[in-house]
A and B are shown apart, each in its own frame.
Chain A
Amino acid sequence: MTALRGAATTLAIAFVLSAPAAAQERYEPPRLADGSPDLQGNWSNATMTPIVRPRGLGPVLTAEQVAALEQGRQDFIEADLTASDPDRGAPVAGGEFTGDPIWDAATGGTGGYNQFFVDAGDEVAVIRGEARSSLLTYPVDGQRPPMTAEGRARQAAIADFNRQFEQYDNPENRPLAERCIMSFGSNGGPPMLPNYFYNNNYTIVQTPDHVLIMTEMVHDARVVRLGEPSPLPHHMRPWMGDSWGHWAGDTLVIETTNIHADQILLGMSAAAFAPSEGITVTERLVRVSEDHIEYTFTISDPILFEDEMRGEVPFTRLDGALYEYACHEANYAMENVLRGARAEEARDNGNEPNRR
C-alpha cells in the first residue's frame, strides 16, 4: 500500500510542479447532499518532513535535496528489511543506536521494532508544488516563537516539580503515549500532525451538523460540532479540547479551545509544549484533489508565546481499512518498565530484585 501510494504521490508532485495553482483551482470535490465538500474516508498524514525546520535549510527544498532525503530513507528502510542472521549474537550491552532519536527511542537500540511494523512516512511533504523542509511555516524560520515571561515561568515551574522524580518512578512520569492515554506525538492534536513512527491514519465521517475525525492511534475520536459555538466552561478541558467547525466556502474551519493542560502539542519535535488555558488552535481542511486534503493550522497561545505558529500538512487518501489500536489493553510495557526500574534499584542497593 505504501509503495502504491508513493507512486501516486510522485505522479501528483510532477503534475502540480508543472501546473500548480490552475490545476488545484479546477478541482471539483465530491459533495454531500447539503453541498459541502466530501472529506470522508481514510487519510494519512505520514511524511518525513519534520515539524521544525532543521537548521541550515530554507523553507522549500530543491529537487536534489528531496531526492537525497527520500533515497536516504529508502536505503535505511531497505537495510532494516534485510533478513536477520539467525546466528547473530545478542545485542551490544546498552544497545546499538542509529542517531535517529525517534527510531532509537522506539527500538531501545535492541531491535525492539523493525520496518515491518513501522510506517513512518518516506516522502517529503509537498504543499502547492513546494517540497517543504518543515511543517511549521510561521514563524518564517520554521521554529517555535520565543516564550513570554509568563510562559518561561510556567515552564520553569513544571521543570522544578518534575526534578523530584526519576523517569521511571511512577506511571505518571511516563509520556502520555506510553501510558496509552494519547496518541504518539501530536496525532490526535489539535493540530493533527504525523508521529514519524506508524499509524498516521485518520477516518473522517461527515453529517450536516458534525464532523467526526478518528485518529487510529489510541482510537481517539474528535467530535467537531458545526454551527455557532456553545463553548465549554473554562475549567473543562478535554484531552483534544472543545472543537467547533463551520464551512467557509469549501474550507472546513475548526476552532478548538480548552485543550487539556497535560496534552502535548507539536510532539515529536523540539517545539513540543503543553498548552495554556488561553490556547486556540484553528485548523482548515480543503480537499484539493481526489487523493489529497490540504491541512493548515494556526496555534495561538498568547499566554505562552510571543507570536502564533502556523503550519501546513498534506493528508493523502488511504485505500485500506484501519485496525483497532487497543493500546492499554496489552500495555505490558508499563508494568515491566516500572518493575525493571524497581529491580535495578534493588540491585543497586545490594538487595535481591523483587521477582513477583
Chain B
Amino acid sequence: MTSRPRPKHHRSTARASGIARWGTVPLLVAAMALAIGPADVDAQSGEIPRLADGRPDMNGIWQALGNAHWDIEPHTARPALAMQPGPVVPVPAQGVLAMGAVGSVPSGYGVVDDGAIPYTAAALEQRDENRAEWLDRDPEIKCYLPGVPRATYMPFPFQIFHSERHVFFAYEYAGAVRDIYMEDPGEAQVDSWMGQSYGRWEGDTFVVRVDGFNGESWLDRSGNYTGYGTIVTERYTMRGPDHIWYEARIENPETFERPWSISMPLYRNVDPDARLGQFKCVEFVEELMYGQFRKNPIRGDEGR
C-alpha cells in the first residue's frame, strides 16, 4: 500500500520519513503540492482564537469528514460490510441485504499515516475474523461506547468544552464523554471503554495520553482494533479558527509490530446556531439485543 499525501507541516517522525520518501518522486511531489494547494495549512491559517491564558481556544463543535469510520485503511468501495458467498462473486449477507446501497461502503483514502496498520500476524488474523463476523462483533452495532480514537471520527460531531482549568469532550454518538484530566491522575484505577485521559500543552498543541482501556473497542466498521493494554497519544493542533489537525499515535506491542499513527483534519461547525444532537442509541438496539426474549417475540429467531 502507498502512503497517503499529507500536509507538509506534520511534526511526527513518521510524517518526516513519509516526506523523504515522497521526495524521491519529484513528479508526485509536484502533483501533491498542486492537489494540496488551497488546503495548505499555512495558506489558510487565520488567527487562532485563544483563551485568557493564551492557550488556543478549542471550544466548539467539531467533526471529522470523510470515510474513516467505515475503514481507516485505504479501501475501494464495496457492496456491504457483511458479505456471503454468491454463485459468481460474494454478495451482501442476509442481515444487511435490505439496506441496499445505503448499506454499501464508500471508498476512502485512509487515515493511517503509513497506509496499512502494522498488525502482528496473529492480530491481522484476528482483524480479518472481526471483519468476517462484523454483524456480531462491532461494538457500534450494539451502541457500545466508541473508545478512542474511534470517537473522534464517528459520523457524528463532538463538542469541546475548554476553560482555563478544564477540558471536557462530549460526543453525540452514544452520549460518550471524556473528562481530560489536566493534572496527572496516575495509573488508571479501573479499565474503561473511553480510557483515562491526561492532557497537557506542548506549545500550541494539546496532547492527551489515553490509557486504561478495557480493550473492547474497535477502530472502525471493518474489524480494525487495538486490543488490551493500548496507549493512545492524541495531538490536537489548531490550524486556524475553524480547523484542528488531529493525530493519534497508537501503541500496543501485543497487537502491532510498531507504534503507528493516524491523522486527519477536524472541522468546526461554523453555523452560529450549531448544537450537539442527542443520539442515545441504547433504546434503538433493544429489539436487536433483547427482542428474542420478549414474551411475544416480534420475529422469533429468524435471521439470528
Contact = CB atoms under 8 A, between A and B. Distances in A.
A179 B294 contact: no
Interface in B152-182: 159, 161-168, 170, 175-177, 179, 181
Most A CB within 10 A of own CB, among B144, B162, B283: B283
A170 B294 contact: yes
Most B CB within 10 A of own CB, among A32, A166, A322, A326: A326
Interface stretch (B62-70, B87-95, B187-195, B238-246): B187-195
Contacts of A225: 275
Contacts of B179: 203, 214, 321-322
Interface stretch (A88-96, A124-132, A151-159, A334-342): A334-342
Given A170-B294, A181-B283, A230-B273, A212 B161 contact: yes
Given A171-B290, A214-B177, A345-B295, A180 B282 contact: yes
Given A212-B168, A223-B276, A324-B193, 8 more contacts: A33-B52, A169-B296, A179-B283, A214-B179, A219-B175, A239-B280, A321-B181, A335-B290
B129 interface: no
B52 A223 contact: no
Contacts of A338: 290, 293-294
Interface of B: 51-53, 59, 139, 142-145, 159, 161-168, 170, 175-177, 179, 181, 185, 189-190, 192-194, 216, 273, 275-276, 278, 280, 282-283, 286, 289-290, 293-296
Most B CB within 10 A of own CB, among A210, A218, A324, A341: A324
In this complex, the interface size class of chain A, counting residues with CB under 8 Å from chain B, is 35 or more
B252 to A, nearest CB: 20
A220 B175 CA distance: 7
Contacts of A209: 59
A6 interface: no
A134 B159 CA distance: 37
Contacts of B144: 326, 328-329
Nearest to A321: B185
A39 B181 CA distance: 17
B241 to A, nearest CB: 15
B137 to A, nearest CB: 14
Given A180-B282, A212-B170, A329-B193, A207 B161 contact: yes
Contacts of B145: 324, 326, 329
Contact of B190 (A166, A203, A212, A323): A323
Contacts of A230: 273
Contacts of B290: 171, 334-335, 338
A40 B163 contact: yes
Contact of B282 (A203, A223, A328): A328
Contacts of B167: 205
Given A219-B175, A221-B170, A169 B294 contact: yes
B176 A219 contact: yes
A206 interface: yes
B192 A326 contact: yes
Most B CB within 10 A of own CB, among A40, A225, A328: A328
A239 B278 contact: yes
